[in-house]
C-alpha cells in the first residue's frame, strides 16, 4: 500500500515531496507536546538539579552555591530514615493491598451473575468522587467518636483513635487511598480476565485441573502483562500521594506518615528551604526512575507474552 | 473461569460482594446524610444511618463562609480547559508518533515518555519559580498550562499512540492516494475513529484536574482563586477545628454531580477506560 502511494506522488519533482510534507506535518503535530515537555519537564528538571547545589532560603533571600552541601545534609538528616521508612511502608502496603483487592474484585465481577454491572458501578464509584471530598469523609469517619468507631461499638469493639496512633494512622491513609482508587486496577484486571481465551480453560477442565490450579497456571500468566503495567502505575502513583496525607494526618502523629512528597512540600513551601527541597526532589526522581526501571527489567522474567 | 454456578455458590458470592461494598459505598452515603444533620447529631451514638432530623442550613453556610460559587466555577472551567487542551495536544502527538514517519521520531518519543518518570511533584519547586518570574502566581495559568503541555499529558499521548497503532492503516492509505493532506486525514478519518480513546483520555484528564491539590495550594493564595479541593479544607472554626457538617455539605456538592454523571454514563466510562491501550 505504502509503495503504491509513493509511486503516484513521484512525478512531482518539487522540494515538498510526500515524505518531506509528512515529516513537516509530524513535527507540527508533536510540537505542542514536545515544547511542553521541554518547558515544563526538562528545563525544570535541570533547574531542580541546579537549585539542589545551592543554599536557598526564600524568606532570608539567600542564594549561595553550596556544591554538594545539600546532599551531605540529606545523608545526615535525622528525619530522612523516618521519611523513607514511611514512604516504603506506605507504598508497599498500598501496592500489595490495592493489587490483591483489585484482582479479587475483578475475579468476582467476572462471574456469571445477574446484576453484576450494578456491583461493578458501585465498586468503581469512589474513583469519580473528588479526592479531597473522599478524604474528608474518611477523616470524619475515622474521628475518635466518628462513624467507624460508632459502628464498631455497636458490635462491642472499642476502636482506637485511628489518626492519633502511628500504626493505625498509617493503616488509615493506606486504606483510604486503596478504596479510592482500586476500582481503576479492578477494571483493567477485569478487561484482562475477559481477554483470556476460553479454550484454555476448556482444555484444563478436560484434563481435570482444579479451579485454583487453572487460576494459577492459566489466568495469572495470561494477565501478567496487565499486572506488571498496573503495578508500575500504582507504585509511581503511591510515591506521589499528597492530598490524603495533608488532609488526614499532616504527616503525623510525629512523623509517622510523613512520606517523601509531604516532607518535600514542608521543606520547600512551609519552611522555605528551596535548595533542600530541590535536593529532596532529586531523591524522589531517582526513586521513581529506579523502581520503574527495575520493574521493567523484571518483565522479562515474570511476564508471559503470547507472541 | 466462567462456568454456571450452583445456587449456593451464587448466594455466597452475592454475600461476599455486599460485604466488600461497605467501604466503597458507606463513605459516600455518610457524607451525604451527615451533611444534612444538625451539628448535634453528627457524632450521635448509635450512628444514625438515616438522618433523624434534617438541617439544610449547612448548604447556605457553605456559600456564606467562602466564595464557594466562584471556587466551583474555578474548578469547573479549569478542568474543562485542561480536558479539551489535553485531548487536542495528546491526540495530535499520539497520532504523529503512531503514524507519521519523520526523522528522530523514536528518540523524541522516548524524551516525551520521560514525562511519565518525572511526576510534577519533582519539578514543583522550579515550576513555582518559573511562574513567579512570569507573574503567574495566584493565577490559574500554572494549573492549566502544566497539565495540558507538561508531564500529566504524556500518559494521554501514550494512550492515543497505542490506540492509533492498533487502528487499521488501510482507510488512511486510501485517502492518501486520493491526495488528502495529513491534517485532513487526521481530522476527518483518524480522529472520528478515535472516539473511545478520546473518551477515556477526557475522563481521566478531567478527574486528574478536578482532584489536583498540591499545585493549587502551592500556586494560589487568595480564596477567590481557590479551586474546590483547596476550598474544602478551609471550613474550620476560629480554633482550626473542622466544621464537619458544613465541610461535608461542600464535599457533597463537589462529589455528587460527577458521581451522577458517572452513574448515568457508567458503561461508556468503565469500558472506555478498560479498552484503551492499557493492556501492557
- Is A51 within 8 Å of B126 when comparing Cβ atoms? yes
Going by C-beta distance under 8 Å and a sequence separation of 6 or more, which residues neighbour residue B130?
Answer: A43, A44, A47
Contact B147, B205 (CB under 8 A): yes
Q: Where are the domain boundaries for CATH 1.10.3720.10 in chain B?
A: 66-234
Going by C-beta distance under 8 Å and a sequence separation of 6 or more, which residues neighbour residue B192?
Answer: none
Confidence of residue A62 (pLDDT cuts 50, 70, 90): confident
Given B42, B150, B211, which is nearest A36 (Cβ)?
Answer: B150
Range with the poorest average pLDDT among A75-84, A161-170, B117-126: B117-126
C-alpha cell at A306: 503470547
Domain ranges of chain A: 2-51, 76-302
Neighbours of B226 (CB within 10 A): 23
Q: What is the pLDDT of residues B221-232, one digit of tens each?
A: 999 999 999 898
- Asked if B184 is an interface residue toward chain A (Cβ–Cβ < 8 A), one would say no
Rg of chain A, C-alpha, whole Å: 26
Dihedral angle sign, alpha carbons of residues A219, A223, A228, A233: negative
Confidence of residue A182 (pLDDT cuts 50, 70, 90): very high
> Which pLDDT does position A1 carry in this prediction?
44
Neighbours of B236 (CB within 10 A): 13
Ranked by mean pLDDT, the top range of A72-86, A292-306, B28-42 is A72-86
C-alpha cell at B29: 452515603
- Compute φ and ψ for B235, nearest 5 degrees: -85, 80
Work out the angle at residue A270's Cα, subtended by the Cα atoms of residues A264 and A276, and round it to the nearest 5 degrees: 45
**Alpha-carbon gap, residue A57 to B263, rounded angstroms:** 49
Q: What is the pLDDT of residues A63-90, one digit of tens each?
A: 888 888 889 888 888 889 999 999 999 9
- Which stretches does DSSP call E strand in A16-86? 54-57, 62-65
Q: Distances from the Cα of A156 to the Cαs of A149, A159, A169, in angstroms?
A: 10, 9, 22
**Alpha-carbon gap, residue A244 to A173, rounded angstroms:** 7
- Using an 8 Å CB-CB cutoff, list chain A residues near B254: 130, 132-133
Domain B66-234 has CATH 1.10.3720.10: yes
- Asked if B270 is an interface residue toward chain A (Cβ–Cβ < 8 A), one would say yes
Share of chain B above pLDDT 90, in %: 32
**Alpha-carbon gap, residue A281 to A274, rounded angstroms:** 10
Higher per-residue confidence, B216 vs A11: B216
Going by C-beta distance under 8 Å and a sequence separation of 6 or more, which residues neighbour residue B167?
Answer: B190, B193, B194
Going by C-beta distance under 8 Å and a sequence separation of 6 or more, which residues neighbour residue A156?
Answer: none
Question: Residue B142's closest chain A neighbor by CA?
Answer: A40
The Cα of A222 is separated from the nearest Cα of chain B by a number of Å equal to 11
Contact A188, A179 (CB under 8 A): no
Higher per-residue confidence, A62 vs A268: A268
> Which pLDDT does position B85 carry in this prediction?
96
C-alpha cell at B199: 473518551
- Compute φ and ψ for B35, nearest 5 degrees: -70, -15
Higher per-residue confidence, B126 vs A302: B126
Confidence of residue B3 (pLDDT cuts 50, 70, 90): low
The position carrying cell 512551609 is: A270
> Which pLDDT does position A259 carry in this prediction?
93
> Which pLDDT does position A305 carry in this prediction?
60
Contact B66, B236 (CB under 8 A): no
Q: Given its phi and psi angles, is residue A164 left (phi above 0), alpha (psi -120 to 50 degrees) or beta?
A: alpha
**Alpha-carbon gap, residue A157 to B276, rounded angstroms:** 45
CA atoms within 13 A on the CB side of B269: 23
Best B121, B153, B176 residue to mutate vs chain A (most A CBs within 10 Å): B121
Q: What is the pLDDT of residues A227-243, one digit of tens each?
A: 888 888 888 889 988 98
Q: Distances from the Cα of A214 to the Cαs of A204, A227, A237, A278, in angstroms?
A: 7, 17, 31, 50
Confidence of residue B119 (pLDDT cuts 50, 70, 90): confident
- Using an 8 Å CB-CB cutoff, list chain B residues near A42: 111, 114
Q: ipTM score of the complex?
A: 0.86
Most distant CA pair in chain B: distance in Å?
Answer: 75
> Which pLDDT does position A9 carry in this prediction?
52
Confidence of residue B277 (pLDDT cuts 50, 70, 90): very low
Q: Which residue, among A111, A213, A214, A217, has the nearest Cα to B3 in the 3D structure? A: A111
**Alpha-carbon gap, residue B36 to B44, rounded angstroms:** 14
Question: Residue A45's closest chain B neighbor by CA?
Answer: B123
- Is B45 within 8 Å of A47 when comparing Cβ atoms? no
**Alpha-carbon gap, residue A265 to A258, rounded angstroms:** 10
Mean pLDDT value of segment B164-187: 83
For the cut 80, the answer to whether the pLDDT of residue A263 exceeds it is: yes
Rounded to 10 deg, the angle between the B266-274 and B195-211 helix axes is 100
Mean pLDDT value of segment A193-217: 80
**Alpha-carbon gap, residue B12 to A71, rounded angstroms:** 56
Mean pLDDT value of segment A285-302: 82
Q: What is the pLDDT of residues A132-148, one digit of tens each?
A: 999 999 988 898 888 88
Chain B segment 123-182 residues within 8 A of A by beta carbon are: 123-130, 145-146, 148-151, 153-154, 157, 169-170, 173, 176-177, 181-182
> Which pLDDT does position A304 carry in this prediction?
63
For the cut 50, the answer to whether the pLDDT of residue B280 exceeds it is: no
**Alpha-carbon gap, residue B237 to B252, rounded angstroms:** 19
Question: Residue A176's closest chain B neighbor by CA?
Answer: B23
**Alpha-carbon gap, residue B199 to B193, rounded angstroms:** 11
| Whole-prediction pTM | 0.86
> Which pLDDT does position A262 carry in this prediction?
93
CB burial readout A182-192, b (16+ within 10 A) else e: bbbbbbbbbbb
Q: Which residue, among A165, A136, A140, has the nearest Cα to A150 in the 3D structure? A: A140
> Which pLDDT does position A307 carry in this prediction?
43
- Is A191 within 8 Å of B251 when comparing Cβ atoms? no
Tabulate helix, strand, coil % of chain A (nearest 5): 75, 5, 25
C-alpha cell at B174: 486510501
CA atoms within 13 A on the CB side of A204: 17
Confidence of residue A6 (pLDDT cuts 50, 70, 90): low
For the cut 80, the answer to whether the pLDDT of residue B88 exceeds it is: yes
CATH number of A76-302: 1.10.3720.10
**Alpha-carbon gap, residue A195 to B278, rounded angstroms:** 13
For the cut 70, the answer to whether the pLDDT of residue A269 exceeds it is: yes
- Using an 8 Å CB-CB cutoff, list chain A residues near B266: 117, 120-121, 124
Range with the poorest average pLDDT among A1-15, A90-104, B215-229: A1-15
Chain A segment 135-194 residues within 8 A of B by beta carbon are: 136-141, 143, 145-147, 150-151, 153-154, 175, 179, 183-184, 187-188, 190-193
Amino acid at each position: 500500500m505504502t509503495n503504491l502511494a509513493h509511486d503516484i506522488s513521484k512525478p512531482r519533482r518539487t522540494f515538498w515531496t510526500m515524505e518531506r510534507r509528512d515529516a513537516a506535518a509530524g513535527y507540527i503535530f508533536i510540537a505542542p507536546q514536545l515544547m511542553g515537555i521541554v518547558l515544563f519537564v526538562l528545563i525544570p528538571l535541570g533547574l531542580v538539579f541546579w537549585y539542589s547545589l545551592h543554599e536557598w532560603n526564600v524568606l532570608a533571600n539567600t542564594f549561595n552555591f553550596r556544591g554538594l552541601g545539600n546532599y551531605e545534609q540529606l545523608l545526615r538528616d535525622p528525619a530522612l530514615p523516618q521519611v523513607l521508612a514511611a514512604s516504603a511502608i506506605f507504598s508497599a502496603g498500598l501496592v500489595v493491598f490495592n493489587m490483591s483487592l483489585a484482582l479479587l474484585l475483578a475475579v468476582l465481577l467476572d462471574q456469571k451473575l445477574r446484576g453484576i454491572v450494578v456491583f461493578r458501578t458501585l465498586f468503581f464509584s469512589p474513583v469519580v468522587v473528588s479526592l479531597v471530598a473522599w478524604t474528608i469523609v474518611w477523616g470524619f469517619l475515622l474521628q475518635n467518636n466518628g462513624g467507624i468507631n460508632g459502628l464498631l461499638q455497636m458490635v462491642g469493639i472499642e476502636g482506637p483513635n485511628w489518626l492519633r496512633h502511628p500504626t493505625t494512622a498509617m493503616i488509615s491513609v493506606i486504606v483510604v487511598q486503596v478504596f479510592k482508587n482500586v476500582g481503576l486496577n479492578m477494571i483493567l484486571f477485569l478487561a484482562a480476565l475477559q481477554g483470556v481465551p476460553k479454550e484454555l480453560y476448556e482444555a484444563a477442565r478436560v484434563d481435570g485441573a482444579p479451579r485454583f490450579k487453572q487460576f494459577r497456571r492459566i489466568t495469572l500468566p495470561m494477565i501478567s502483562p496487565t499486572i506488571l503495567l498496573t503495578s508500575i502505575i500504582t507504585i509511581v502513583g503511591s510515591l506521589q500521594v499528597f492530598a490524603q496525607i495533608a488532609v488526614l494526618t499532616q504527616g503525623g502523629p510525629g512523623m509517622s506518615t510523613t512520606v517523601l512528597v509531604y516532607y518535600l512540600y514542608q521543606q520547600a513551601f512551609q519552611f522555605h528551604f528551596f535548595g533542600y527541597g530541590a535536593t529532596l526532589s532529586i531523591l524522589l526522581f531517582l526513586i521513581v526512575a529506579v523502581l520503574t526501571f527495575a520493574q521493567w527489567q523484571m518483565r522479562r522474567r515474570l511476564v508471559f507474552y503470547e507472541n | 473461569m466462567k462456568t454456571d454456578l450452583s445456587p449456593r455458590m451464587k448466594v455466597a458470592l452475592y454475600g461476599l460482594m455486599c460485604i466488600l461494598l461497605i467501604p466503597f459505598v458507606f463513605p459516600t452515603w455518610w457524607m451525604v446524610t451527615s451533611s444534612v444533620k444538625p451539628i448535634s447529631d453528627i457524632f450521635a451514638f448509635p450512628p444514625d444511618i438515616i438522618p433523624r432530623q434534617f438541617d439544610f442550613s449547612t448548604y447556605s453556610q457553605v456559600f456564606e463562609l467562602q466564595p464557594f460559587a466562584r471556587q466551583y466555577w474555578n474548578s469547573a472551567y479549569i478542568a474543562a480547559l485542561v480536558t479539551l487542551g489535553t485531548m487536542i495536544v495528546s491526540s495530535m502527538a499520539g497520532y504523529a508518533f503512531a503514524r507519521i514517519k519523520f526523522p528522530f521520531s523514536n528518540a523524541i518519543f522516548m524524551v516525551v515518555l520521560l514525562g511519565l518518570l518525572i511526576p510534577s511533584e519533582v519539578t514543583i519547586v522550579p515550576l513555582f519559580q518559573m511562574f513567579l518570574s512570569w507573574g503567574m502566581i495566584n493565577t490559574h495559568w500554572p494549573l492549566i498550562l502544566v497539565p495540558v503541555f507538561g508531564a500529566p499529558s504524556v500518559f494521554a499521548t501514550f494512550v492515543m499512540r497505542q490506540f492509533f497503532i492498533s487502528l487499521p492503516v488501510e482507510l488512511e492509505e486510501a485517502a492518501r492516494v486520493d491526495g488528502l493532506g495529513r491534517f485532513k486525514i487526521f481530522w476527518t478519518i483518524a480522529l472520528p475513529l478515535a472516539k473511545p480513546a478520546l473518551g477515556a483520555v477526557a475522563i481521566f484528564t478531567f478527574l486528574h484536574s478536578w482532584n489536583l491539590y498540591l499545585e493549587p495550594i502551592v500556586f494560589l493564595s487568595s480564596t477567590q482563586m481557590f479551586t474546590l479541593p483547596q476550598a474544602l479544607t478551609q471550613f474550620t472554626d476560629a480554633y482550626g477545628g473542622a466544621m464537619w457538617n458544613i465541610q461535608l455539605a461542600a464535599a457533597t456538592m463537589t462529589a455528587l454531580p460527577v458521581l451522577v454523571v458517572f452513574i448515568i454514563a457508567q458503561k461508556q466510562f468503565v469500558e472506555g477506560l478498560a479498552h484503551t491501550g492499557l493492556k501492557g
